[in-house]
Structure 1
Amino acid sequence: MTEMLDQSLAEACTNECHRSFDRLLKLQLRIVDKLESELRERKIMARVSGRVKGRESLRAKLLKWVNDEEKAKLFSDPRDVFKYVGDLAAVRVMTYVEQDRERVANIAKEIFTHRLGREDFEYEVKESSPRVKSDDANYYRATHMQICLKEADLTGHSDNLADDHCELQITSMLAHVWNEIEHDIVYKGDRTQLSTDELSALESLGLLTKTGDNIIVNLMNANARRVMEQHTKLVHASKEMLDADALSSFLEGHYGTKLFSHSQAIDYWKNNEPLSLALRHLGITHPHDITSTFTPSRLYEMRKTEWPLFKRFLERNGYERQTPDINSCDLFLLSLMPENSATLAAFPHTGMGPKPRQIAFAHRWEAFLSSR
């Protein structure tokens, strides 16, 4: 077999990938489904799409690499196409607001895994790359990662996807518009051939996308405030908060997304149901009672002092299931434990499944207290 990529090997690689089209399509659809479900649960507004690289597109890419010595010498076998072409399967997440890009990337790191030997997910913020930073007219903004399904997801029809990876592209919707137009006009062609009008229009569009991001953020914030004001009126009228999503809206409105400086934002919609059930069991359902229970000092003490000790206790004793996520509603749930763990632990659990989250945490806190 040839020692590097040439026209013959490029054709063989193309054919090898084409024979695996159905498998790659299955991977792409599985990843889209998992992301859509997770983003919906976290209340992140975004659109998810995917594709498998077409035969002609792959052939053109490989033939271009034939003339790139660094890339060409990577190939010696048709199956090398799966190793060195990162976007055979690709999924794109387009967020409504630019600020959600990092949140989506962190979620991807939670629910997927990385390629063997690539523990950083091959994470790249494209606008920070030298190629983009050195070009004032380049407004490309996206985060790229390589992701694989976790072992737990390699079951049933997905059991043959263990060796496959997918490129995840995360961008805002407005940045996506510029990225796509630039890709079709510039990346696939020759920038030196563009007219002054084309270059000027591309730059104007790039500036507009940045302005548009700010407008969308202001619009979303204004909408959230209006909804919150309406919801607060309803809450105070009923004097009780019995719905998990209503609780999340109230907590976010009262405490703010960035609860502590120099810390990760709190996801108030993650694990909100166990917190809601615990508060209802303890009779803490009125907004005044909730804010009196979760004082800033109480939350700070849990996060900075008690949580690190409790986390070490859990790790030392092998508590792996239902691990607390301190950047979610679990922070509030754990803050109930110093004064209420015995009451919550005594709540009866029926059924054959695992203990509800609030009861499991209470039992672990009681064990933690006994160990001190």
Structure 2
Amino acid sequence: MALVREFIEDYRGKISHFQHLAEVCAYQCESTLKRQGLRVLVTSRAKRLDSLASKVEDRAQEKNYQSIEEIYQDIVDLAGVRIALFFPQDGREVDQFIRSTFHVESIKDFPEALGDPLGYPKHFLGYVGRHYRIYMKPESLPPEERHLANHVIEVQVGTVLMHAWAEVEHDLVYKSTGGFLSQDEYAILDELNALMYEGEMALERLQTAVKSRINAEQHPFSNHYELSSYLHDQKRRVLPGPGCRFSIGRTDVLFQFLRRIGLNSVPGLRPVLQHCRFEAHAAPLSQQIVDRLLLDDPNLYTEYDQARMAVGAFDPFGTPFEAQSVFSEEGGLGPFMRSWINLEESMGEELYRILRGESASFVADPHAAEQLRSAKRLRDQILFGCQPPDPEELEQAEQSLSAMMDFLKEQEAEHSLRQQA
């Protein structure tokens, strides 16, 4: 066991690295999921030395490790993140988030087989959850931390009740007794597991009751969690399949925006949703809602800016940019946004037809159409992103938008002259 002891000492010196790795991943999970209005508890940990030593000693007899590197490659949960769901049905949304945010190496669903510990036949399934082995994407990390993308992380997803039961079983069965309990003890654990299943069924009924109330009420949404619940219901109604990759997007800023303009309710939001595209490659639903409202009334850009800054000022996951006005002169934000709004107001629906590659009465050559799509990406980064675009890129885009606006004015003047003639 000298190699195992050598590995444990090596890991002791690296445990802070794995703790940081898990914390960064947990931050990405918690910030996105809570902003999207999903009720979750996210925790992280580096594997404890005592737990790791016991695990490696057990596996060493089977694996016949020849080097420390082999052990590191074999143990995949040195950095772990746990996502505990309030409501079981939200697992589908979390699964979509994980698949779109990280590089997923493998997925393991529990339970596997019921098993028959010491002759005791289980009546219930035991722990139910889904474990992912993932790598963070380099582009999601700052340059100085992109090395973290080279390390595997285990992400466990289950309900808060199942995670609590799993902790009890794991500590009692495997840590305290080495896996040897009496049949009475196994029977009691089985009974507790049954209570967890009953609790999950109650949570599902509670979630259904909340959704029914939200859909039936004429009153405003109380918070962005209720707004998110309503939007997820609309998504599932249109796209019921489990494989859909259509995203709801961030709802905390949307909630504040809708509240400011008096549309923070089912009756207020329903007409806007009729213009949204529920498709796998469409923009997140929250962004589509904002786009539609701003297109219908460009004066609402100011209201959206105020809502965005109000959330950004107190968001524990926010960046300084998210508390900054999109009309700030800093970094060329203001001039670009004003030029974009002028063009959007002038072209209206025609602009979005061009952006989608559809036929439009305004004929844009391929170069102009690409310039518009590039400007739209910059505009979306300003309105919905956490970091500002490059100032030079903004300046060039603003000049292109101004030139297009001048061209439209010339076209309009020529059209007026022809009508007068």
Under TM normalisation by the shorter chain, which class is it? 0.5 to 0.7
Name the counterpart of 1:208: 195
1:262 and 1:227 map into 2 onto residues whose CA distance is: 23
Matches within 5 A, 1:28-107: 28-68=22-62, 71-72=63-64, 75-107=65-97
Name the counterpart of 1:4: none
1:20 and 1:54 map into 2 onto residues whose CA distance is: 12
Name the counterpart of 2:237: 258
Answering whether residue 160 of structure 2 is matched by residue 173 of structure 1, we say yes
Name the counterpart of 1:365: 353
Q: Which runs of 5+ in 2 are unaligned?
A: 303-325, 364-421
Q: Which amino acid aligns with 1:329?
A: S
Report the CA distance between 1:248 and its aligned residue.
Answer: 3.5
Say whether the 8 Å CA contact 1:342–1:362 is kept in structure 2.
Answer: no
Report the CA distance between 1:206 and its aligned residue.
Answer: 1.1
Aligned-partner SS, 2:42: strand
Answering whether residue 137 of structure 2 is matched by residue 150 of structure 1, we say yes
Cα distance change on mapping 1:246 and 1:362 into 2, 3 Å: farther
Q: 1:192-223: per-residue Cα shift (whole Å, max 9, x none)?
A: x4223212211111111111111122234434
1:225 and 1:273 map into 2 onto residues whose CA distance is: 24
Structure number with higher relative contact order (C-alpha < 8 Å, ≥ 6 residues apart): 1
Aligned-partner SS, 2:17: helix
Report the CA distance between 1:332 and its aligned residue.
Answer: 5.5
2:251 and 2:66 map into 1 onto residues whose CA distance is: 49
Q: 1:250-305: per-residue Cα shift (whole Å, max 9, x none)?
A: 95498474333336497656368579979x99x9999657534544xx66xx44xx
Q: Which runs of 5+ in 1 are unaligned?
A: 1-6, 115-120, 236-242, 312-322
1:277 and 1:36 map into 2 onto residues whose CA distance is: 22
Report the CA distance between 1:155 and its aligned residue.
Answer: 2.4
Q: Which amino acid aligns with 1:89?
A: A
Say whether the 8 Å CA contact 1:147–1:166 is kept in structure 2.
Answer: yes
2:173 and 2:349 map into 1 onto residues whose CA distance is: 55
1:210 and 1:246 map into 2 onto residues whose CA distance is: 24
The two structures have a TM-score, normalised by structure 1, of: 0.68
Name the counterpart of 2:14: 20
1:136 and 1:173 map into 2 onto residues whose CA distance is: 21
2:188 and 2:247 map into 1 onto residues whose CA distance is: 39
Greater per-residue helix proportion: 2
1:234 and 1:275 map into 2 onto residues whose CA distance is: 10
Aligned-partner SS, 1:101: helix
Aligned-partner SS, 2:150: coil
Name the counterpart of 1:324: 283
2:349 and 2:5 map into 1 onto residues whose CA distance is: 57
Cα distance change on mapping 1:195 and 1:272 into 2, 3 Å: closer
The two structures have a TM-score, normalised by structure 2, of: 0.61
Q: 1:131-159: per-residue Cα shift (whole Å, max 9, x none)?
A: 66996554111111112222124426524
Say whether the 8 Å CA contact 2:114–2:126 is kept in structure 1.
Answer: no
Aligned-partner SS, 1:34: helix
Q: 1:26-75: per-residue Cα shift (whole Å, max 9, x none)?
A: 1111112221211210111121111111222222211111211xx33xx3
Aligned-partner SS, 1:145: strand
Identity of matched residues, %: 17
Answering whether residue 219 of structure 2 is matched by residue 233 of structure 1, we say yes
> What's the Cα RMSD here?
4.5
Q: 1:330-359: per-residue Cα shift (whole Å, max 9, x none)?
A: 56578x59xx97987xx9996635879996
1:159 and 1:112 map into 2 onto residues whose CA distance is: 13
Report the CA distance between 1:175 and its aligned residue.
Answer: 0.9
Q: Which amino acid aligns with 1:88?
A: L
Aligned-partner SS, 1:369: coil
